[in-house]
Amino acid sequence: MNGAAPSPGSSRGQLPSGRTLPVRVMVVEDSLVVRRLLTHIIASDPRLLLVGAVESAEEALRSLPRLRPDVVSMDIRLPGMDGLEATRRIMEENPTPIVVIADAVEDASLRISMNALRAGALSVVEKPVGLSSRHYEAIAEEICTQLFIMSQVPVIRRRAIGRAAEPPFPVLPEALPMAPPGAAPVRPSVVAMAASTGGPPAPARVIGALPAGFPAPLLLVQHMGAPFMEGFAAWLDGLVPLKVEIGRDGVTPLPGHVYVAPGDRHLLLSRAGPLQVSAGPPVGGQRPSANLLFRSVAEAAGTRGLGILLTGMGEDGARGLTELRRQGGFTITEHESSAVVYGMPAAAVRLGGSSASLPLHLIAPRLLRLAMPEARA
């Protein structure tokens, strides 16, 4: 999950969240080699301060109240209690921002990593490689950036999705109008969705509530490290009724299918109908760009395009969603009451790009009423 980090500045100071620099980091990693590597990476960034490095989840749970880190770097494959269960326990007992450090190519690690995000972790990044690797600098920079950014995200005590009841949301009006309504929305021919920090659980919850016979294709931008996108799509495919796959250039999107933007590539809908996958430059620091996806749907589908902007840091998607609404498409933003980070949706609301602002659990029901009005009881 990408995001533009604030300027490192000095090693002392105050963050917008009110926390003071440097950010306190605890590392949970059973491999001595990787633990030392993470210690070296964190020590090289003046924004970060290592306050503890432990080799098991059990030790992490014991140490957390004493060390009081601002953010936890969590390995997934641990002896004894694994990183998924550790994440659940931390979010239930002592909520702290968690960044998962995972092997991007090992299937079991990917599945556990995705489920850790559902349990409350905020981000997943690739495990560091040796100092001699040509990828070392990029991976080290991404680890530090994610630790720094995620330390500023407020987290709340929660229970994991699927383990107990969903977190309650306040009772709200079904739709909170953001701008004067236009013509009544028409049945969408395509749905575009985007999420960043706080995903993948947010899109998984919305898509998981749709039936396999959903009558429109769904195009999804999820900000996440490129090496994880194939695994994310496979994880989501095993979780929801719709068929999920990585979007491919030239493919005609089919109803009941979800097309995920490939790693480090833009996903667009062409006016002729097929998907376009582009290696064009990042937009606002993002590739894939939610702005480009929404804009392409506005141009290709017009009033029959529907856009959904979920939790995320920054403003990606806000301008594109606003353009889609101006073209007559119906647009939904996740309400502040359920968004892990109310950044991207808030930006769209400010621009007048939201037809309706809904908490997460009400988005799929509204989408079903728009796309399948005949299915209403």
Query: Mind telling me the catalytic residues?
Result: 196, 223, 316
Amino acid at 215: P
- Token representation of residue 191: 């749905």
Pairing of strands 356-358, 243-246: unpaired
H helix intervals, the chain? 32-43, 57-67, 83-93, 107-119, 136-150, 201-208, 229-237, 290-301, 318-326, 344-350, 360-371
- Identify which of 259, 235, 263 has the alpha carbon closest to the alpha carbon of residue 245: 259
CA distance 94 to 45: 26
Residues 335-363 as b or e (16 or more Cβ within 10 Å = b): beebbbbbbbbbbbbebebbbbbbbbebb
238: left (phi over 0), alpha (psi -120 to 50) or beta: alpha
CA distance 126 to 199: 17
CA distance 340 to 19: 18
CA distance 182 to 186: 11
Neighbour order of strands in the sheet with 48-54: 48-54, 23-28, 71-75, 98-102, 123-126
CA distance 307 to 320: 9
Phi, psi of 243 (to 5 degrees): -80, 125
If you search the block for the tokens 């990408």, which residue do you land on?
A: 2
3-state class of 225 per DSSP? coil
Sign of the torsion angle spanned by Cα atoms 271, 277, 280, 284: positive
If you search the block for the tokens 């060390």, which residue do you land on?
A: 67
